[in-house]
Chains A and B, each alone.
Chain A
Amino acid sequence: MSRTLLLRRGVAQARLLAAVLAVVVAGTVLLGTCALLLTTGADQARQAHLQDTPAADLAAGVLIGRVPPDALRATEAAEGVLADALAPFPAPVTTWTTSTMRDLGEEPDGRPRLGYLAGISDLPEQARLLTGRWPDAPGTTGAWEAVLPARAAELLGVGPGDQLVLTPRTGPRTAGLAVVLVGTFVPDDDPAWLADPLGGTGHVAELAPEVGTGEPEPAYGPFVVAAGALLGTDGGLDEVRVTAHPDLAGASAADLGAARGGLTDARAALTTALTGQDAVARVDAPLARTLAGVATQQGVTGSAVLVVALVGTLLAATALGLAARLVAARRAAETALLAARGAGRRQLAGQAAAEALALAVIATAVAVPLSLLAYRGLAALPRLTAAGLDAPGGPTWPLVSAVGAGALALGAVLVAPAVAPATGGAAVRRSRRGAVARSGADLVLAGVAVLAFLQLRAHPVTSATGIDPVLVAAPVLCLLAGAVLVLRLLPVLQAAAERAARRSRRLVVPLAAWEVARRPGATGAALLLVLATAAATFGAGYLSTWGTSQVEQASARVGTDVTVPAVRPALPGQGGTVAAATGGTVSPAASRPVGLGSVVLIGDRAVTPRLVAVDTSVAGDLLRGRPPAGDTWAARTGSLGSAAEPAEGAALVVPAAGPALTVTGSSATGVLTVRPVLVVRDALGARSILTGQEVPLDGRAHPVDLQDPTGVAPAVGARFTVIGVDLDVVLLDPAGLDLALPEPTEVTVQLELAGDPTAGLADDWTARGPLDESAGRVQVPAVGIAAADGGTALSARAEVRWTAPLVGRAHLLLTAYEPPGSVPVLLSADLADAIGAEPGREVLLQLGGSTVRGDVLGLLPYVPGAAGGPGVLADLEVLARALAATGDLDPLVDGWWAGGVDDPAAAAVALADAGLPGAVTRAGVAAQLRDGPLRAALPAALWLMVGAAVVLALAGSAVHTTAALESRAVEVARLLGLGVPRRSVTRAVLAGHVLVTAIAVLLGAVVGALACRLLTVPMTVSETGEVPVPPPLAQWPWAAGSLLVVGLLLGCSVVAAPVAAALVGRAGSAHLRLGDAP
């Protein structure tokens, strides 16, 4: 047929072709929007995510742990390796050099103190200068200029202009290095300071020795000298840390992939670069982990978007198939005429293809700007705007390509029905089973879908290399197979309709039932409606399952409503600040790595379990996350605290005049001193310590100057509850040069605490020696508490047997309770599997340098606050008591947990204002998991699918209804001619349509619900591509699902109403002359 005739026919059938074009455009707009989400959107999301990522997670560094004599050369080699690895990006490098600990004179009490040097290349960006100026490079002679943290300077009593000497204890240099202070500074709140030996605090009262088992000593520093100065020295360096901070602004996926690959190769490159330099170094690249996480997350999100694109294309193709049949039916006479005039199938196909191509071109031209508009609309949504999505300036090549390809593919759907032979009219009785069912193709498809589903279930971890084909193929195949399979139920339903019609006395419903049961094409829209309903309800179900899983993952990770790191060292009263800021139930919490006495392997990975300890007496109000099935957190953790019987404790109130603590002691033999450490507890159960100076056991009362862990004396009026006292008993004159053990001695110590004389009297104070008896063994301890003038008096008497010559030291621990022999714990199931533990077994818990016994009471699916890895849950007080019995007085307060918080966001702000920054809220983590830049496209795509399914269902239903009803014009006229009222005819016409719609929509809802139940769980993966903790539960959103089903039912029924009314209204006597269609 000539182009002219094609054009004229197109004009004559403009409305018909416009309907077809509308369906093509709807499908290609969905494709185009998805293409934008996968390309432009993914780039924008990646950039937004990287912008929000802390700088520490975007860094890549080299840590030289054993610094060779030529530190400068090693450092330059490390810088070169990093530059090569991050080659596509400019990567400024910072260098942080730390010396070994050096002697820095003596404390006022004669104890030696330590200091150390550091060289920080970007110190002005890491700290705020408080006084003086930054140091200049040292000359060849004279003291080195240095700046010191203000807190250290205050405690040392030094300032700008003062000179100190730091003398190496180890290394080749023995001469002291003189430094002159030129200023003081305050470190910024930067994670880089965590690498500092003192954590940026400037002073630690008791720094454990780096090697050996020597006594802890007070340490001060760093004395920061000019950057690079230390690298020129020969030895005396503890570590050099070279860190690169690449500028990733505008980075493409390819460049980021190249950087990731470079960092993977950096380890080997570093080894090569440091060959022959006697250095031990390693690459520490958080950036590589960050980029891997980005790739995985985008792979997961991209897979979901692709599912939406494919399902949408299927729907569009199905709707287009209906439209194509409408067109073919309209042109049946014309096609028959052309065939009769000698037109071959190839000619007819060519004609149809030319028209389809024209439609595809027009659709592309229309769909590209509409896709941009749709994407702009999505990007304008607050959730996606916050995720960094922004509409591109104009069409992109991926957009045009996707839309064009989609339009061509959909256009091809129009060709086949145009050349298919006529299959006979309504008069021909045919099998109710469709062609697909008769061929068995639906069963083959179902088999493939089952295989895909099994693959999906066995494949929980997604690849970090992009779109996951299993995540994409399985849901598409399952939805399609389900929709096609349920159509096998139609003949059964049609037969039932026939039986009902036969038994009825009336006409309207039987007429509708006969139409549904017998008219070919009456159920032609069924596949579209089933698939659309299944896709829409599945999309809503997946959205609900995924959204709920993000909230549950956040709850499991955070463990409670709000957590905030404790300000170290833990001071009494911090808990009160947290309680005031949050208004919730507050508990101190320990969360730290724990050893179990052997390597823990999960799979083939060695993992470090994490111990979480909280006040389990408030677990019901505190712990969040899905509890073990059929249980509550309160019930499951209730027995963890049973080993900690209540202890009132003795009161300590700092008086305005006089000492808070007076120590009087004596020993039968030898010259002994005792240094008391009071273990105090606040109202929330958080522990801290107050340290006193050494006092002689000479029978006289000695006032003790107490200091908190920061070295500051508590304020007048400060109140404490003393629940324990650690007495460090030292023998000043150990045995002489003959290495004989000192004679055992009986020691008596009385501690008078100023405060409430009635507090703690009812407690059953106990006393014991430490577990480590390498220095001294304490036997037959006795302790008592009694009221005294203005307070209480704790008395202890013990016999000390020295167990090592030349070292006379023993610890005596007094507690207001009986220390537990073991700690009841709950293990995560994966940890229990890994170590072969089960309830009733004992495990060893190694925390820092201390070990306590743990009794396994039970297992948990996960430990709140330690989800995603092996965990141990214990009661904080029980654990602290058990550790204290070993001599470990660590307060164990790593942070504060608050549950029952009404406004977590406001609480986080209040905490920061109160000097407790870094709060993490469960709601905030959930929002990040759900709405983070790399995740936000997933729910957006699912909403697109739901919307597209509804639109295509309505459009396809309207097209099919129009075609189906128009073919019944003659029949309608005949019914009218028989005396059937118009409204009865209209009702019969509509009833048939509504019957098919209802059956299809309900079947589609069943398919969608089944798909939701089976597929959404394995499709919901964490941002690392693994099974989330806790594992997701399929969620069926009854409200949204019901709304969709009812909406589709009503909508597809309503579109038929005007068509039916118009058809019946138009039917007249002229139709009575017409015969039946061929």
Chain B
Amino acid sequence: MVQVRGVHRTYGSGPAAVHALRDVSLTVAPGELVALVGRSGSGKTTLLNVVGGLDRPDAGTVHVAGTEVTGLDDDGLVRLRRDVVAYVFQTFGLIPVLTAAENVGVPLRLRGLPVVEREQRVQLLLELVGLGAAGGQRPGEMSGGQQQRVAIARALAGSPRLLVADEPTGQLDSETGLAVMALIRAVVESEGTTAIVSTHDPVMVALADRVVHVADGRLVDA
């Protein structure tokens, strides 16, 4: 599903340059849940951004679902994020002025779904994440766990083939974090979605099919 080959990413230049990724190569099979583990600043987020097309490597290639991400232009990357890859952010990433239902509906509006069909799917997704009755609430009126579940529902709205989650439980308590991770595990198993999750959470690590350690921009094992 995902093939990363010899990717390098450096920020800045000269003595102050930060080598976020150094010759990283990684393969993720379809339907696999991979956990990226590493300290803060190890390069996990950069690797996820490169895989999801949010960032471009300085060298190397990235293939997602057979598409070379590193060769895509802006429009191609937009289509990638709309149709193939879905993101779940540590900070939830919800649009504050939109309700939960409206947030979940954003990817569906991008596809131009008819109103009725869109609202049905949104309700379905919210029920899937256990928030069927909270569609009218805004992010500011929800707990962190609820917000993250909405974010997951939104991520699933576009039926992505690859789910990328950057420390999805980083701002949650352990119990809530467990629930969120269990949800991701359930989605992977039920939907057949491939997932790459960066995490410090040992529970998530335990739930993953494979653990990849990242340190100083390199993969310790792949």
Contact = CB atoms under 8 A, between A and B. Distances in A.
Contact of A507 (B110, B138, B154): B110
A506 interface: yes
B140 A428 contact: yes
Contact of B140 (A429, A1068, A1074): A429
Interface string B32-62: 0000000000000100010010110000000
Interface string A480-510: 0000000000000000000000011111001
A929 to B, nearest CB: 56
A428 B74 CA distance: 34
B97 interface: yes
A514 B54 contact: no
Interface stretch (B80-88, B191-199, B206-214): B80-88
A1072 B78 contact: no
A735 B49 CA distance: 137
Contact of B106 (A519, A980, A1074): A980
B115 interface: yes
A519 B96 CA distance: 9
Contacts of A429: 138, 140-141
Contact of A510 (B55, B90, B109): B109
A427 B96 contact: yes
Contacts of B52: 977
B75 interface: yes
B106 A978 contact: yes
A427 B139 contact: yes
Given A505-B112, A977-B54, A981-B75, A514 B97 contact: yes
Contact of A518 (B79, B97, B107, B158): B97
A592 interface: no
Nearest to A426: B96
Interface string B61-80: 00000000000001100111
Given A503-B115, A507-B110, A1069-B49, A977 B93 contact: yes
B138 to A, nearest CB: 6
A507 B96 contact: no
A506 B91 contact: no
Contacts of B172: none
A979 B83 contact: yes
A786 interface: no
Nearest to B52: A977
B135 to A, nearest CB: 12
Contacts of A506: 109, 112
B14 interface: no
A1073 B91 contact: yes
Interface residues of A, number: 32
Contacts of B114: 505
Contact of A977 (B83, B89, B102): B89
A360 B130 CA distance: 57
Given A518-B97, A977-B81, A505 B118 contact: yes
Nearest to A522: B97
Contacts of B102: 514
B95 A974 contact: yes
Contacts of B79: 979
A503 B91 CA distance: 29
B87 A978 contact: yes
A1068 B93 CA distance: 13
A142 interface: no
B113 interface: yes
A427 B109 CA distance: 22
Contact of B55 (A426, A503, A975, A1069): A1069
Interface in A404-429: 425-429
Given A975-B95, A980-B110, A1072-B54, A427 B138 contact: yes
B81 A978 contact: yes
Given A425-B140, A979-B83, A971 B106 contact: no
A171 interface: no
A427 B99 CA distance: 10
A250 interface: no
A504 B109 CA distance: 9
Interface string A1057-1078: 0000000000011001111100
Interface in A512-547: 514-515, 518-519
A431 B80 CA distance: 39
A1072 B93 contact: yes
Contacts of A289: none
Contact of B78 (A428, A514, A981): A981
B98 interface: yes
A505 B78 contact: no
Given A426-B96, A505-B114, A978 B109 contact: no
Contact of A1069 (B54, B139, B171): B54
Interface string B153-168: 0100010000000100
B175 to A, nearest CB: 21
A383 interface: no
Contacts of A282: none
A982 B55 CA distance: 15
B107 A971 contact: no
A429 B87 CA distance: 26
Interface in A1032-1078: 1068-1069, 1072-1076
A729 to B, nearest CB: 106
Contacts of A982: 74, 78
Contacts of A979: 78-83, 107, 110, 158
Contacts of A427: 96, 138-141
Contacts of B95: 971, 974-975
Contacts of B93: 974, 977, 1072
Given A514-B98, A518-B97, A977-B89, A507 B109 contact: yes
A979 B113 CA distance: 16
Interface string A970-996: 010011111111100000000000000
Nearest to B167: A1073
Interface string A422-442: 000111110000000000000
Contacts of B138: 427, 429
Interface string B96-139: 11100010001101101111001000000000000000000011
Contacts of A503: 115
B97 A519 contact: yes
Contacts of A514: 97-98, 102
A506 B78 CA distance: 16
Contacts of B107: 978-979
A426 B107 CA distance: 21
Interface string B178-209: 00000000000000000000000000000000
Contacts of A515: 97
Contacts of A1075: 91, 171
Contacts of B96: 425-427, 971, 1076
A1058 to B, nearest CB: 19
A982 B89 CA distance: 20
A1074 B91 contact: yes
A698 to B, nearest CB: 117
Contacts of A981: 74-75, 78
A1072 B115 CA distance: 29
A1068 B50 CA distance: 12
Contacts of B49: 1069
B48 to A, nearest CB: 9
Nearest to B82: A979
Given A977-B81, A977-B87, A505 B140 contact: no
A1072 B138 CA distance: 19
A977 B118 CA distance: 20
6 contacts: A427-B96, A505-B114, A977-B93, A978-B110, A1069-B45, A1074-B91
State the 4 A-B residue pairs at the shortest beta-carbon distance, nearest first.
Answer: A427-B140, A979-B82, A979-B81, A507-B109
Given A979-B110, A1076-B91, 14 more contacts: A427-B141, A505-B112, A505-B118, A507-B106, A975-B95, A977-B52, A978-B82, A978-B110, A979-B81, A979-B83, A1069-B49, A1072-B87, A1073-B91, A1075-B91
